[in-house]
Structure 1
Amino acid sequence: MDTKLPDWDDADARLLDEASALIAARGTRGLTIAELAREARVSRPTIYRRWPGTDEVVRAALLRQTVLIVAQLSTEESTREDLVAEVLRFSDLFREDLVFARLLEREPEAFTQYSLERIGSSQRVMLHWLEEAIARGQGGGTVREGAPSDMSVMLLLIVQSAVLSHNAVSSLIGANEWRAELTRAVDGYLRP
């Protein structure tokens, strides 16, 4: 799976950082082009030259946050155990990220709009990382056979469902137990 990331220059990165800060503070509905321009101390046309509207700014900001999280993951893991540990690390980093934590806590419906209605750029970044990690694990014999592209899609669905539902089920399962069960689910799926 080839994932082409946007080529964000320093100005784009600064605007997306400001957008992320606004989303973390006010949610997706609290982000407007006018407010972003004010916070970033740029004109609205400067923003409109990069993105046609608020939805595109939100999508770009969420993509950038995902890229920053995935950049913290190992690209050297070669065993199933390493892959499981990194998937759990991703879930921790995702839930601890100020933007995603805010959305999970106060605006979970945003994930329906920006993640669940279609496979977006943020998910493609994760799919690319998973596919490569699965292929490395298969090369070492610790991950079962199968098309890494297909397996990465199913693994994304498992992890995405668990992470996005974590708050909803937190009264039914403790944090440590949730983590242990997600570990078993991911490990069991990948085990030869």
Structure 2
Amino acid sequence: MGIDIDQAIMQAARELVLEAGIRGTTMSAVARGAKISRPTLYARFSGKDAVISKLLTHELIEVTMSLQRQPATGPQMVEALLDAARMVAVHPVITIIVEEQPELLGTYFFRRLGESQIRIIAILEQVIERVQQQAPETICQRNAHALATMCCSILQHSALSSRIFAPILRAHQPSSTWDQELRIILEGYVLP
């Protein structure tokens, strides 16, 4: 039953953020949308910021898990990482959070890793280890955990900052895009 309630809360929060933005999302509206009582919602979350933070985690994990293609080589790993970054850069809920409540992200940029980052690093580490074992000539053989951690950091900063840097890149080189530049970085870091 708990999983169903948590899923209902995330679905309601997602719909409200997309419809009304973060400022227009209230705990009462989330509870109504999830068809639960406010005390039930408050038993799980201390307030709206906690709900939005969990929603961000939920959406980032969904993006990671939606990449069905399991890379078998280093170049495929780079493509999967680029696909994930592109998805995050245009994700509607994440875009709203970046635009309306960027201070929420500050914690995860400057103070500590969040749940989504820890889970994404673990997923990336498993994939990197598998590629290192199955196609060792196609990927660098550095420590998989270190590779996963730095890939997560690089992707996070690139994807969440893409709207800021895209116009600057185009102004100096019209054909340049943030994801093309990210590809160069990832190829240099991940490939042998």
How is 1:91-170 mapped onto 2 (pairs within 5 angstroms)? Answer: 91-113=85-107, 116-139=110-133, 140-141=135-136, 142-170=138-166
SS in 1 for 2:168: coil
Distance apart, 1:118 and its partner CA? 1.4
Q: How far apart are the structure 1 equivalents of 2:80 and 2:2?
A: 26
Conserved 8 A contact 1:27-1:107: no
Query: What are the Cα deviations for residues 53-83 of structure 1, in whole angstroms up to 9, with x where unaligned?
Result: 3232222212211221111113631211111
Aligned to 2:167: 171
Return the letter of the residue paired with 2:54.
A
Q: Verify: 1:79 aligned to 2:73, yes or no.
A: yes
Aligned to 2:17: 23
Conserved 8 A contact 1:20-1:62: no
Query: What are the Cα deviations for residues 81-137 of structure 1, in whole angstroms up to 9, with x where unaligned?
Result: 111111111112212322112223444333214554310011112111211121122
Return the letter of the residue paired with 1:69.
V
Aligned to 1:58: 52
Q: 1:158 to 1:31 in 2, by over 3 A?
A: same
Q: How far apart are the structure 1 equivalents of 2:45 and 2:100?
A: 25
Aligned to 2:4: 10
Conserved 8 A contact 2:9-2:34: yes
Distance apart, 1:181 and its partner CA? 0.9
Return the letter of the residue paired with 2:166.
S
Unpaired runs of 5+ in structure 1? 1-6
Conserved 8 A contact 2:5-2:34: no
Conserved 8 A contact 2:12-2:33: yes
Q: In terms of mean alpha carbon deviation, does 167-176 or 181-190 score higher?
A: 167-176
Q: How far apart are the structure 1 equivalents of 2:124 and 2:2?
A: 23
CA RMSD for the aligned pairs?
Answer: 2.3
Q: In terms of mean alpha carbon deviation, does 52-61 or 164-173 score higher?
A: 52-61
Q: Structure 1 length normalisation: TM-score? A: 0.85
Q: 1:167 to 1:107 in 2, by over 3 A?
A: farther
Q: Structure 2 length normalisation: TM-score? A: 0.85
Moved >4 Å (runs of 4+): none
